Structure 1
Amino acid sequence: MAIILYCFFFSRDFYSILGVSKSANTNQIKRAYRKLAKEHHPDKNKDDPDAERRFQDLGAAYEVLSDADKRKIYDRHGEEGLSKSDTHGDPFSSFFGDFGFGFGGNQEQETPRGGDVLMDLEVTLEELYSGNFVEVIRYKPVAKPAKGTRKCNCRNEMVTTQLGPGRFQMSQQQVCDECPNVRFVPEERILEIEIEPGMRDGQIYPFVAEGEPHIDGEPGDLKFKIKQAKHKKFERRGDDLYTNVTISLVDAMVGFEMEINHLDNHRVHVSRDKITWPGARLRKSGEGMPNYENNNVKGALYITFDVEFPKGSLTEEQRQALKELLGQESKQTVYNGLQGF
């Protein structure tokens, strides 16, 4: 008895998974993914057995829809088309190779494209910690109809001319289309930029087709480069934060308690019940910057202590009392403190 096996491929609706329309642009897709990824992350839904599957579906949807080439294949052939790649090209071309015979008559020319525009966008460390929306006014050149015509899509074509009975001559000549004339007029556009928690210095935030226009083709992209402004209290290195705290000599000797105002104004409690020497460093886990890929994970906050010594001079009685209190002998050691640097 012959057994016939049927294999069904269940294609996921990536647009529904992300909750966006099929006309959504890259920024809308990215924004939807980050919002849903935070809600459905397995670490936040440990009691939900389907959390892992939903999170994986979100990742798969974002991977495809955020990539222009993969998205085109998915829109035409669904998820199954992605597994097979896009093989629905010209069969003659794929069989014979590109020898210039022009089988199939589908020789597409590369579309001309305008230049990309790269601009710096300065943001604060507070914005990179908590996130924010920034509006930028952009004056973009937009093509408007104008009087007259213009030559466009100029190309070289082979022309055959009959010279006589059985005699032909082939030559190249430039052929141009006569198109309506246009002029570029600047129009005001308001672009909304989402500063996402954990974004890094130098990261690029693109706006597709918002760059320089091309009279015969497509506009380039407008790209904003994140520039982190210098902060007076914190220094960022990766996902970790560093800060310095100056304490008095009394605090260094007997201990202290204090609170540090963080980037989102929550308070970080710091306490020491033992001697704190100059240059001592304290690590507060989970008090650093949020990770860009997973905001549920945060770096550490490193606190380095400086000790402020009292000014003035001590009396002889005070010196003797201090020596007895500390119980230390006089000690001076000379060494190479820069060895290895």
Structure 2
Amino acid sequence: MASLVAWNLLTFNLFLIILQVFAGRDFYKILGVSKNAKLNQIKKAYRTLAKELHPDKNPGDEDANKRFQDLGAAYEVLSDAEKRKIYDKHGEEGLSKGDVGGDPFSSFFGDFSFFGGGGGNRDREIPRGGDIVMDLDVTLEELYSGNFVEVVRYKPVAKPAKGTRKCNCRTEMVTQQLGPGRFQMTQQQVCDDCPNVKMVPEEKLLEIEIEPGMRDGQEYPFVAEGEPHIDGEPGDLRFKIKQQKHRRFERKGDDLYTNVTISLKDALVGFEMDIQHLDGHMVHVVRDKITWPGARMRKPGEGMPNYENNNVKGQLFITFDIDFPKGTLTEEEKEALIKILKQDSKQVVYNGLQASMFA
């Protein structure tokens, strides 16, 4: 009877542990991705759902707002390698407590293994090939609207070959008996005997998604597409976004800047014009008052899309330059201008670069 009670108590404790490990939200289900999804798949799923569930598109919808918050929490965890590792081991509950490391069952029962097998043995660190980082030239138009770019990758791949080779070499401590009651520990290199392989280059087509709002210097990773390691795992291949200079626009964060040159007539009497944006749509500009050289106009929502939330866009700043007429005016024209402008002669000398110091 006592053994039955003990067994029931043990079963109940195991059940509590399992509940603790798997409690919380299913972040993979929230994002609609598999548990082996790559980082770019997670980002793409988040961006798509964020547009659909954003509060600006669902005013007053509490369910959509709750799902949007869950979506943000899921993305925060699964887009971070360390947090994702903890979540995969211990569920959402483990994130608040931190990674306790190892198997939750072994941490409950200690190094002595109730389920059989030795405890306390750690796996040897798996060797890894080098990472490759390559620049990827991207236009500002692509960073505004998004695009897919195909890149051909010639990657060395291990193929079976004749014979065997020494592999997984490591340094181990070996104990030798020198005599009765005398022992000596020495370091020795120990290797396994593995089938031989040869590295053969293979062509592979990689598709890179240029996501709207990506920034200069941002990296796009391809896991396990880097340098191979004959005894371990390949490194990663990372493409670094290199934003190309643009003829009309300058980007600073999520804001865009451009300059427009207008005639003196337009500067004095006002004007209307359209500026073609990066995706082809027109930004309408109206000035019905005097425009002075260096005047700046701000157009909200006409900047770059924010990478984390494409529903939010930066601002477009337009600076105006004045094209003054060439040549000379007649005395009659000068008199007419003085009457029209109704402005006295004025000349002020000052340090324009440090004007605020003397204001």
- Answer whether TM exceeds 0.5 for this pair: yes
Root-mean-square deviation over aligned CA pairs: 2.5
- The partner residue of 1:80 within 86, 93, 111 is 93
Partner of 2:272: 257
Shift of 1:55: 1.0
Asked if residue 339 in structure 1 is aligned to residue 349 in structure 2, the reply is no
Output aligned runs, 1:286-325, within 5 Å.
286-325=301-340
Shift of 1:255: 0.7
Partner of 2:61: 48
Asked if residue 129 in structure 1 is aligned to residue 144 in structure 2, the reply is yes
Shift of 1:166: 4.9
Partner of 1:22: 35
Partner of 2:102: 89
SS of residue paired to 1:242: strand
Shift of 1:330: 2.6
Output aligned runs, 1:122-201, within 5 Å.
122-163=137-178, 166-201=181-216
SS of residue paired to 2:75: helix
Are 2:267 and 2:290, in contact at CA under 8 Å, matched by a contact in 1? yes
Partner of 1:37: 50
Asked if residue 246 in structure 1 is aligned to residue 256 in structure 2, the reply is no
Give the AA of the match of 1:57.
D
Seen in structure 2, the aligned counterparts of structure 1 residues 116 and 255 have a Cα distance that, compared at 3 Å, is same
- The partner residue of 2:126 within 101, 104, 111 is 111
Identity, % of aligned positions: 77
SS of residue paired to 1:300: strand
Gaps of 5+ in 2: 1-15, 112-117
Q: Deviations over 1:183-237 (max 9, x none)?
A: 1111111111111111111111111111111111111111111111101001111
Output aligned runs, 1:193-232, within 5 Å.
193-232=208-247
Shift of 1:168: 4.5
Counterpart-to-counterpart distance in 2, 1:71 and 1:79: 10
Aligned pairs, number: 328
Give the AA of the match of 1:280.
A
SS of residue paired to 1:113: coil
SS of residue paired to 2:190: strand
Seen in structure 2, the aligned counterparts of structure 1 residues 178 and 247 have a Cα distance that, compared at 3 Å, is same
Counterpart-to-counterpart distance in 2, 1:324 and 1:164: 118
Give the AA of the match of 1:36.
L
SS of residue paired to 1:78: helix
Are 2:47 and 2:310, in contact at CA under 8 Å, matched by a contact in 1? no
Seen in structure 2, the aligned counterparts of structure 1 residues 95 and 319 have a Cα distance that, compared at 3 Å, is same
Shift of 1:147: 1.5
Counterpart-to-counterpart distance in 2, 1:30 and 1:50: 22
Are 2:83 and 2:95, in contact at CA under 8 Å, matched by a contact in 1? yes
Q: Deviations over 1:286-309 (max 9, x none)?
A: 111111112111111111111111
- The partner residue of 1:268 within 270, 283, 305 is 283
Q: Which is further off, 264-273 or 83-92?
A: 83-92
SS of residue paired to 1:259: strand
SS of residue paired to 1:269: strand
SS of residue paired to 2:302: coil
Counterpart-to-counterpart distance in 1, 2:167 and 2:32: 41
Seen in structure 2, the aligned counterparts of structure 1 residues 330 and 144 have a Cα distance that, compared at 3 Å, is same
Partner of 2:115: none
